[in-house]
C-alpha cells in the first residue's frame, strides 16, 4: 500500500479452561496465558499501531483481592510497551518474593496480570482521539463483581451520535464521547438490569447476597443482554467483552463486515481477528479454526462452557474485501491464494496496456502488501509467454533449429525489485517547504535494470489518495527513464468512503472522486454536483432506511476506464517523461478472486447497513460545503 491509511483494529481473547497449575505442569509456567497473549497481539500488530491494551481476570478470588488488571499504551511501540510493563511488574514481584517462584497459588494471589481470562487489543483509531483514554480495553468498574465490564472492539458505528443520545435518554451521563464508551455503557446498562433482576430472584428464593453471587454468575444470560444492547447498532463490529466474575463474549455484526475467528479445545478458547494468528500461536491446522458467523456471539461462561448464539438475525453477508486485499496478513491460506488470483485476473488488462510486448516490459511491485498479487500476475504472464512460445514452435516445427529453439526458450518474463521503501524517512518529514522533496524520497528505486525501450509495470494493492504515487513513486520510476509506467491496482477504484472501521471518511481525499469531478468539469456536466448536493440535503431528515446513495450519480456518466485515465493524468505531472497509465481491477474480478468477502461498498457505493447511505451523503455534503469533517 503506497498510501498511508489508518485502518482496522485487532482483538485477542483467551480463556484458560484448566486451573493454572495445569499450565505450569504442562508448559512449565503459570504465565502461559500472558505469553500467548503477547504472541496473539504481536502477530496482529499489522492491525493497529495507535495503541495497544491488555486486561486480565483472575477467577474465584477472595473478596478484597484484586482480580482485574489492565495496561494500555499509546507509545510508539505500544505492544512492546504494554508487555514491558507487565514483565517488569512480574519480575519485580518475583524478585522481591522468592517464595513465589514455584508456587502457582501465591503467584495468582499476589502477582497482577496472571489469571485465566485475557483480552487484548491493538488499535487504529477511527473515532475520537489517539490519547491514552481512547485506547482499548475500556473498563466499567463496579463493586459488584458481575457488573464489571471490560470491552474492546474492532468496529465503527455509523450512528454513534444517536446511540450516545439514547444513553442520555436512559438517564445516563457517559464520561466520554468515545464510541467504545457508548457501546460499553449500552451493554453495561442491560448488564446492570440483568444482575438486579437475578439478585431479586435469588432474594425471593431466600438467598443472601453472598449466596446469590455464584447463582448470578451461573444464570447471567449474556445472549439476552447482547440482544437488548445491540438493537440499534448500525456498523461493522467485532466486540469482545469480559465480565468481572469470568464470563466472556465476542459478538459480530449481522453482515459479518469485521472478521472474527475462534478455536477451542479442552485447554483453551481463543478468539482473534485473523485466522493464521490462531494457527501459529497454538499450532492448529486451518480447518480447526472457525469463523464466528455474522450476527452471532461466542459466549464463554465462567464454568468453561462455550456456545455460539444468534444475537441479531444475519443480513446478506458482506465481509470486508479490503481484509483480503490488504489489511489481514497474507499468511492465511485462503488470503494468499486470493491475492495471487487478484494478480492473475488483472494480467489481461496489463497486456493490453503494453501491447502484449512482454519482451520489453519489466514487472515489479510496491512493497510489501502487493508482493503476493505480484506473484499471481507474473505466473499469469509466464503462462501467456509459454503460450506464445508453444504457438511459435508448433507453427515452425519443420524448420526449427536447436539454436532457434534455445533462443525461444531463453526468453523470460522480466521481474525486478524496483521500488524500495525507506520507511524511516517518514519520521523526518515536517510541514515546511522541504516537505515535498523529502516525500519524493520515501521510496527509492533500483538503478540499472530498465532500458529506455521498456515498459515498467508496477503493482500496488490499492490506490486511495494517490499522493505517494504522485509525489514519490512515479517521480522515482521516471528517473529510470522507461518508455511507459503502468501502475496496476489489484483492487478496484476506491470511490466511496468507508464507515465500518477504515479511516477513509472524506470523499475529496479519494483520487477516484477527484478524477470524476475533473471529468464532470471537462464534459460540462458539473451541474450534477449541485444536483447531487440538493438530493443529499433533502434526505437529511429521513430515516436511515429511506436514504439513497446519490453520490453514485457523480460516477454514473463515465466508464471505469475513463476515470482511470483521468486518475493517470492527475498523478502524472509535466516533468514526467514516461507515459503514465493506470489499471484497476474490475469489481467482477474482485469477487471472483475473493468469493467469500463480497463487501465492496468503497468500490460500488453499495453499503451493507442503512447508516452507510447516510454517511456517504454526509461525506458529500461536507465536501460540497467545504467542511473538513468526518461524516460519522
Q: Does 5 bind ligand GLN (CB under 6 A)?
A: no
What's 320's DSSP letter?
Answer: B
Residue 289 CB, shortest distance to ligand GLN, in Å, is: 21
Task: Kindly tell me which of 126 and 159 has the beta carbon lying closer to ligand GLN.
Answer: 126
Q: Which is nearer to ligand GLN, 126 or 148 (CB)?
A: 126
CB of 8 to ligand GLN, least distance (A): 5
Choose between 217 and 320: whose C-beta lies nearer to ligand GLN: 320
| Residues near 427 by beta carbon (within 8 Å), at least 6 away in sequence | none
Query: Residues 9, 68, 507, 519: which binds ligand GLN (CB under 6 A)?
Result: 9
β-strand partners of 291? 261
Rounded to 5°, angle at Cα 330 from 324 and 336: 80
454 touches 483 (CB < 8 A): yes
Task: Give me the least distance between CB of 373 and ligand GLN, in Å please.
Answer: 24
Which position among 3, 116, 179, 253 is part of the footprint of ligand GLN (CB under 6 A)?
A: 179
CB-nearer residue toward ligand GLN: 154 or 373: 154
In DSSP notation, 117-182 reads EEEEEEE--SSS--SGGGSSPEEE--SSGGG-EEEEEEEEETTHHHHHHHHHHTT---S---HHHH
Distance CA 8, CA 125 (A): 8
Q: Could you say whether residue 415 binds ligand GLN (CB under 6 A)?
A: no
Determine, following the binding rule CB under 6 A, whether residue 155 of this chain makes contact with ligand GLN. yes
d(C-alpha 119, C-alpha 109), whole Å: 20
Instruction: Give the containing element (helix H, strand E) for 35.
Output: helix 32-42
Binding of residue 501 to ligand GLN (CB under 6 A) = yes
Q: Are 421 and 2 in contact (CB under 8 A)?
A: no
* Complex with ligand GLN: residue 2 or 134, whichever CB lies closer: 134
CA pair distance 409, 252, nearest whole angstrom: 53
Burial 158-187 (b: 16+ CB within 10 A, else e): bbbeebbebbeeeeeebebebbbbbbbbbb
In the bound complex, what is the minimum distance in angstroms from residue 76's beta carbon to ligand GLN? 18
Site size toward ligand GLN, by CB under 6 A: 16
| Binding status of residue 158 toward ligand GLN by CB under 6 A | no
263 binds ligand GLN (CB under 6 A): no
State yes or no: residue 493 binds ligand GLN (CB under 6 A). Answer: no
Question: Could you give the string, one character per residue 86-125, with x where binding to ligand GLN holds by CB under 6 A and - elsewhere?
Answer: -------------------------------------xxx
Q: Is 341 in the site for ligand GLN (CB under 6 A)?
A: no
Residue 500 in contact with ligand GLN, rule: CB under 6 A: no
When CB distances to ligand GLN are compared, the closest residue is 9
User: Which three cell numbers, joined as nine digits, stand for 314?
Assistant: 444475519
CA distance linking residue 580 with residue 518, whole number of Å: 18
Q: Does 185 bind ligand GLN (CB under 6 A)?
A: no
> Is 134 one of the binding residues for ligand GLN (CB under 6 A)?
yes
Grid coordinates given for 613: 447511505
Q: Which residues bind ligand GLN (CB under 6 A)?
A: 8-9, 123-128, 134, 153-156, 179-180, 501
Amino acid at each position: 500500500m503506497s498510501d498511508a491509511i489508518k485502518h482496522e483494529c485487532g482483538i485477542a481473547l483467551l480463556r484458560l479452561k484448566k486451573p493454572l497449575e495445569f499450565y505450569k505442569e504442562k508448559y512449565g509456567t503459570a504465565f502461559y496465558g500472558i505469553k500467548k497473549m503477547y504472541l496473539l497481539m504481536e502477530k496482529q500488530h499489522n492491525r493497529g499501531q495507535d495503541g495497544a491494551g491488555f486486561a486480565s481476570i483472575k477467577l474465584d478470588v477472595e473478596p478484597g483481592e484484586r482480580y482485574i488488571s489492565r495496561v494500555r499504551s499509546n507509545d510508539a511501540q505500544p505492544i512492546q510497551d504494554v508487555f514491558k510493563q507487565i514483565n517488569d511488574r512480574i519480575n519485580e514481584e518475583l524478585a522481591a518474593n522468592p517464595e513465589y517462584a514455584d508456587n502457582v497459588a501465591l503467584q495468582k494471589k499476589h502477582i497482577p496480570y496472571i489469571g485465566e481470562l485475557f483480552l487484548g487489543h491493538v488499535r487504529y483509531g477511527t473515532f475520537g482521539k489517539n490519547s491514552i483514554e481512547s485506547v482499548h480495553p475500556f473498563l466499567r468498574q463496579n463493586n459488584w463483581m458481575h457488573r464489571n465490564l471490560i470491552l474492546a472492539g474492532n468496529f465503527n458505528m455509523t450512528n454513534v451520535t444517536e446511540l450516545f443520545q439514547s444513553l442520555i435518554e436512559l438517564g445516563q451521563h457517559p464520561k466520554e464521547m468515545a464510541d467504545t464508551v457508548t457501546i460499553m455503557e449500552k451493554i453495561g446498562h442491560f448488564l446492570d438490569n440483568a444482575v438486579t433482576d437475578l439478585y431479586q430472584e435469588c432474594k425471593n428464593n431466600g438467598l443472601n447476597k453472598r449466596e446469590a453471587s455464584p447463582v448470578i454468575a451461573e444464570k447471567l444470560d449474556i445472549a439476552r443482554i447482547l440482544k437488548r444492547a445491540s438493537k440499534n447498532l448500525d456498523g461493522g463490529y467485532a466486540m469482545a467483552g469480559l465480565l468481572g466474575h469470568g464470563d466472556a463474549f465476542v459478538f459480530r455484526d449481522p453482515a459479518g463486515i469485521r472478521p472474527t475467528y475462534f478455536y477451542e479445545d479442552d485447554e483453551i478458547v481463543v478468539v482473534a481477528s485473523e485466522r493464521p494468528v490462531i494457527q501459529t500461536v497454538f499450532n492448529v491446522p486451518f480447518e480447526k479454526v472457525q469463523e464466528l458467523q455474522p450476527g452471532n456471539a461466542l459466549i464463554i461462561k465462567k464454568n468453561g462452557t462455550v456456545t455460539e448464539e444468534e444475537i441479531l438475525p444475519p443480513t446478506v453477508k458482506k465481509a470486508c474485501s479490503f481484509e483480503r486485499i490488504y489489511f489481514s496478513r497474507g499468511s492465511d491460506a485462503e488470503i494468499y491464494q486470493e491475492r495471487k488470483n487478484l494478480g492473475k485476473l488483472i494480467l489481461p488488462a496489463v497486456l493490453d496496456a503494453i501491447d502484449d510486448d512482454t519482451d520489453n516490459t519489466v514487472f515489479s511491485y510496491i512493497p510489501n502488501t502487493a508482493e503476493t498479487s505480484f506473484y499471481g500476475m507474473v505466473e499469469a504472464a509466464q503462462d501467456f509467454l509459454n503460450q506464445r512460445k508453444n504457438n511459435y514452435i508448433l507453427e515452425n516445427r519443420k524448420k526449427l533449429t536447436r539454436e532457434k529453439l534455445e533462443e525461444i526458450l531463453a526468453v523470460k518474463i522480466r521481474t525486478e525489485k524496483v521500488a524500495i521503501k525507506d520507511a524511516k524517512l517518514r519520521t523526518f518529514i515536517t510541514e515546511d517547504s522541504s516537505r515535498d522533496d523529502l516525500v519524493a524520497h520515501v521510496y527509492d528505486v533500483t538503478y540499472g535494470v530498465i532500458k529506455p525501450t521498456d515498459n515498467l509495470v508496477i503493482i500496488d494493492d490499492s490506490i486511495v489518495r494517490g499522493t505517494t504515487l504522485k509525489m514519490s513513486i512515479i517521480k522515482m520510476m521516471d528517473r529510470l527513464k522507461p518508455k511507459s509506467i503502468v501502475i496496476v491496482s489489484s483492487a478496484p477504484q476506491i470511490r466511496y468512503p468507508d464507515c465500518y472501521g477504515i479511516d477513509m471518511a472524506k470523499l475529496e481525499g479519494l483520487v477516484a472522486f477527484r478524477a470524476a469531478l475533473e471529468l464532470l468539469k471537462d464534459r460540462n456536466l458539473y451541474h450534477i454536483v449541485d444536483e447531487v448536493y440538493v438530493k443529499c440535503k433533502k434526505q437529511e431528515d429521513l430515516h436511515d432506511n429511506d436514504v439513497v446513495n446519490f453520490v453514485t450519480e457523480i460516477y454514473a456518466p463515465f466508464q471505469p476506464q475513463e476515470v482511470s485515465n483521468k486518475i493517470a493524468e492527475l498523478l502524472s505531472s509535466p516533468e514526467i517523461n514516461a507515459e503514465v497509465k493506470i489499471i484497476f481491477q474490475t469489481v467482477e474480478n474482485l469477487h471472483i478472486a475473493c468469493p467469500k468477502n463480497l463487501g465492496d461498498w468503497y468500490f460500488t457505493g453499495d453499503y451493507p447497513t442503512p447508516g452507510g447511505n447516510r454517511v456517504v451523503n454526509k461525506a458529500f455534503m461536507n465536501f460540497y460545503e467545504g467542511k473538513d469533517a468526518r461524516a460519522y
